[in-house]
A = this chain, B = another copy of it.
Amino acid sequence: MPVRLDAQDPRFAKGFEGLLHAKRETSEDVQALVAGVIDDVRKRGDAALIDYTARWDRQTLTPVTLRISQEEVDAAVGKCSEELLRALDTAAERIESFHRLQVPETTDYRDAQGVRLGARWTAVGAAGLYVPGGTASYPSSVLMNALPARVAGVERIVMVVPTPDGAINPLVLAAAKRCGITEIYRIGGAQAVAALAYGTATIAPVDKIVGPGNAFVAAAKRLVYGTVGIDSIAGPSEILVVADNRNDPAWIAMDLLSQAEHDTSAQSILITDDPAFADAVATAVDRHLETLPRAAIAGESWREHGAIIVVRDLLAESPALIDRLAPEHLELAVEDPDALAAKVRNAGAIFLGRYTPEAIGDYVAGPNHVLPTARSARFSSGLNVLDFMKRTTFVACDAESVAAIGPAAVTLARSEGLDAHALSVALRLPGGGQG
């Protein structure tokens, strides 16, 4: 059964702490194995990729067939229904529109001392997108990872996707095509991450790698970080639903299950101010589980990690709980969701009101569905255009403006014992070097 906590209960603080610090993930220690694979790809390049793909995906490849051809992509798109392709296009358009507003502007100005100052943003040169194979191969993830890169202006976007036994989700290739990705390799695992980071004869290296993956992929991303940039390593998904008793319990129950069906280690939490509503939602969850196709996964997640918290006053009490949980997804199914949202600091994405189920944000709302998990919304943001850009600041002094601000630099540099710093400024001051 999911944990049930009552904020009035004197044991509440202890129970809530338990919820905060419960470990949901069993981390496999695959680092040594992964380090070996990376070394091997660095040394043997394509040959290593071909060997690992034969061993783990049972595919016999050559340097030429590592790449999925445009003909294969087009054939896959031909297999997708019109309805699916239209839905994909709706999603892509909305995601692009939302992300376009994130493109930052250059600043360039002259200050009162005559110093020209500013910052400009440039896209990373090349980005690599990891797409898992098999059942976790989600076309929506291709859109969410590739479109921000596209909007940022990344010139080269490379996709890798393993095709165990030759299987691939045609809609994943359709999503890649919709995002303008033409460079796709049928490789996966740590070997694919290594190829993206270090390059091989066939695959040129990238500057940044994003996208979800299993424990091997996550370990490989950690190991190549520094050589390339990476996105954050995603943990299991979470939802926190704050709901008053004027919601349909069946709707709220389904929202909780939409998170739970991802993974047995996913977490769904309900905060409400009415114990009877809490009971009604719990009952509705059980009823939905009777028919839900992924009931085995969702049920285990709900029983092991689910929680229902009852408070007296949602507006007064829930913001502090939300901020400590720092949920990936926060659904506010209350009368005045804005009033509550205004009091929240930590959440990856907020879904406001009774008609905004979290799942709408997984596909078509527009904001990204790659969001900070495991309480990292305290200090990090969902994937966005800035993740594919970097800021370069600039300064320009002339003889007058360096004379205005330089002496303070000379004083500070000397106090830090950095005389070449001081002299490199002082040489440019009137009387050069004697200052």
Contact = CB atoms under 8 A, between A and B. Distances in A.
Interface string A409-435: 101110111111111110110000000
Interface stretch (A48-56, A59-67, A91-99, A271-279): A91-99
Interface in A367-403: 367-368, 372, 374, 376-382, 384, 386, 390-399, 401-402
A402 B345 contact: no
Interface stretch (A177-185, A186-194, A305-313, A358-366): A358-366
A15 interface: no
A124 interface: yes
B397 A356 contact: yes
A124 B379 contact: yes
A292 interface: yes
A164 to B, nearest CB: 17
B261 A420 contact: yes
A254 interface: yes
A395 B359 contact: no
Interface stretch (A5-13, A68-76, A81-89): A81-89
A251 B204 CA distance: 39
Q: Which of A98, A135, A407 counts the most chain B CB atoms within 10 A? A: A98
Contacts of A255: 424
Copies in the complex: 2
Given A207-B378, A395-B356, A412-B140, A98 B117 contact: yes
Contact of A124 (B123, B378, B402): B378
A248 B101 CA distance: 46
B395 A363 contact: no
A372 B353 CA distance: 42
A125 B345 contact: yes
Given A294-B417, A365-B405, A107 B115 contact: no
Nearest to A330: B392
Contacts of A123: 345
B402 A356 contact: yes
Nearest to A407: B87
A243 to B, nearest CB: 13
A365 B229 CA distance: 28
B91 A408 contact: yes
Contacts of A117: 98, 365-367
Interface of A: 83-84, 86-88, 90-91, 94, 97-98, 101-102, 107, 111, 115-117, 119, 122-125, 135, 138-140, 171, 207-208, 226, 228-229, 233, 248, 250-251, 254-255, 257-258, 260-262, 288, 292-294, 298, 323, 337, 341, 344-353, 355-368, 372, 374, 376-382, 384, 386, 390-399, 401-402, 405-409, 411-413, 415-425, 427-428
11 contacts: A87-B412, A115-B366, A122-B346, A337-B396, A349-B394, A353-B396, A356-B402, A357-B428, A362-B413, A364-B409, A378-B390
